[in-house]
Structure 1
């Protein structure tokens, strides 16, 4: 049977490929095929793991996310998960916009990465999210703010800070957060889980 150029363009490649590469392959596909309708229903309904569209993940992303989660939680007595985004700033904005709403406040340090500060002042504050800057090394002042400002929902630290390399006591901050039922998050870009594990 002779196919048209249209059919040739959309036809799946038929050659056999190795299924055991030595290095994790990069999945550049936008979508994934399913064997049958039932498989699709099970994957879309969450009854079965699988991939449907590159935006929602692929085997490369799943494997790397699992590795990062294992590194971040190394030595912990619980399992962690990781979520991939397209950049560090998209991860930070997802964190802030996912946790904070109008009328709530974020407690953070003044010496943050410039892009984070810009996000706080130009995106969060105009949406009615209060940003409270405080030297997070001064734990007595942090605690006073947590006592006084009941709308603080998140303590956000960056340690070591970019570009000053200033560090804060993450364990002490997390302890204060738990005491006042405030979430604590950290940008661990500089140290990485090899040198510092905030979890």
Structure 2
């Protein structure tokens, strides 16, 4: 597709009229396997002929169409879909490293990814250093680079405290030593942030979240240069971490409304963050769109919108938190994000439950921290429900 706005890309990228039926939407090729009319056709497919399909674990036309859409909306050459976001992240890690290598990871990352890097990647003979990339990322990366360092991994905005890593600073530090950069762009979405255009080598998402957008599928995607992604695609094929055609189709349909959803969620999150900042029962609000945020300037530099995720802190224990949740009418306690409904999560009791109290404290995760996925509902209804919850504690 020629250079177009992301508003247009989310609708049209990867789409074409079906060659046989002229269907406007991409058909669901619900088939595990594809046949051949001649031995020559089969040989051509195994040699890698474009648009020649063999087995859906390897490739499928429905999946390929959505991969093309995702590559285009994030300005990548290629995209690879997986069965989940964690399947995508593990495929990246396992494909890019070998025994004896070293990885630098940000400390502020999703709990599931942290578990992969702490418990499973070391079993491959790989060392992982967790480094502060929020403050002075360039200096802290340079301090921790070793001769066997392979890449630097981070996410921004961070989960769950919505802190911002300076992408340009990370890229500067890494390029000096010709290392790779891998970034989780889930919290921002391609609408709000384009990491590949800022020099990041590989971007990935839990597509379960904003890309799907309706809490009805589980998927992950890796996006980057075609040559760099070859080994990751091969890993997916032989580990069997592929997405199925039905889920890929649902994801493609969800992506078409990504831009309009994010526009509303960005707007609602900013209004909600400003309102919560005025409530005396709220100790802190974490949202980079607030001018009072220490991350506002960096976010403004690298994001076109501040996102639908925010967090706030109240004085709490488990009993008070249960009262707060019970008093909510519309908003639900949900261990995910990115859907059109406003939902909350208590990180200390969920995504970061298995961390020690000391580890959580270092990441600003208290038992009173509430992470919010701001939905697309009427903003006054969202505010009213939070006020109802806070009044009861």
Coarse TM-score class (shorter-chain normalised):
0.7 to 0.9
TM-score of the superposed pair, with normalisation by structure 1 = 0.83
Q: Which has more strand, going by share of residues?
A: 2
Q: Secondary structure at the match of 1:82?
A: strand
| Counterpart Cα distance in 2 of 1:67 and 1:94 | 21
Larger C-alpha radius of gyration, 1 or 2?
1
Tell me the alpha carbon deviations over residues 130-161 of structure 1, each in whole angstroms, 9 at most, x when there is no partner.
Answer: 11011113221222222xx2221110011111
| Counterpart Cα distance in 2 of 1:143 and 1:48 | 42
Structure 2 residue runs without a partner (length 5+): 1-19, 197-393
| Contact 2:103/2:150, CA 8 A, preserved across alignment | yes
How much has 1:97 moved relative to structure 2? 0.5
| Counterpart Cα distance in 2 of 1:29 and 1:47 | 19
Question: Which residue does 2:82 correspond to in 1?
Answer: 85
Question: Which residue does 2:45 correspond to in 1?
Answer: 43
> Are 1:142 and 2:144 matched, yes or no?
no
| Counterpart Cα distance in 2 of 1:52 and 1:62 | 13
Q: Secondary structure at the match of 2:159?
A: coil
Tell me the alpha carbon deviations over residues 167-199 of structure 1, each in whole angstroms, 9 at most, x when there is no partner.
Answer: 111122112111111110101111111111110
Tell me the alpha carbon deviations over residues 104-150 of structure 1, each in whole angstroms, 9 at most, x when there is no partner.
Answer: 1111111111110111111111322111011113221222222xx22
| Greater Cα offset, 179-188 or 133-142 | 133-142
Which of residues 50, 54, 57 in structure 1 aligns to 2:56? 54
- Any runs of at least 4 consecutive aligned residues in structure 1 with deviations exceeding 3 A, and if so which? none
| 1:86-125 equivalences in 2 (<5 Å) | 86-125=83-122
| Counterpart Cα distance in 1 of 2:166 and 2:58 | 35
| Counterpart Cα distance in 1 of 2:28 and 2:169 | 40
| Counterpart Cα distance in 2 of 1:127 and 1:58 | 31
> Are 1:132 and 2:134 matched, yes or no?
no
| Counterpart Cα distance in 1 of 2:117 and 2:41 | 43
TM-score of the superposed pair, with normalisation by structure 2 = 0.43
Report the count of equivalent residues. 175
| Counterpart Cα distance in 2 of 1:110 and 1:28 | 41
Question: Which residue does 2:188 correspond to in 1?
Answer: 191
Q: Secondary structure at the match of 1:84?
A: strand
Structure 1 residue runs without a partner (length 5+): 1-17, 74-78
Tell me the alpha carbon deviations over residues 55-94 of structure 1, each in whole angstroms, 9 at most, x when there is no partner.
Answer: 1111111111011000111xxxxx5100111111011001
| Counterpart Cα distance in 2 of 1:194 and 1:132 | 31
| Greater Cα offset, 134-143 or 115-124 | 134-143
Q: Secondary structure at the match of 1:119?
A: helix
| Contact 1:27/1:59, CA 8 A, preserved across alignment | yes
| Counterpart Cα distance in 2 of 1:153 and 1:102 | 11
| Counterpart Cα distance in 1 of 2:119 and 2:144 | 23
| Greater Cα offset, 180-189 or 158-167 | 158-167
| Contact 1:104/1:151, CA 8 A, preserved across alignment | yes
| Counterpart Cα distance in 2 of 1:26 and 1:193 | 25
| Contact 1:42/1:48, CA 8 A, preserved across alignment | no
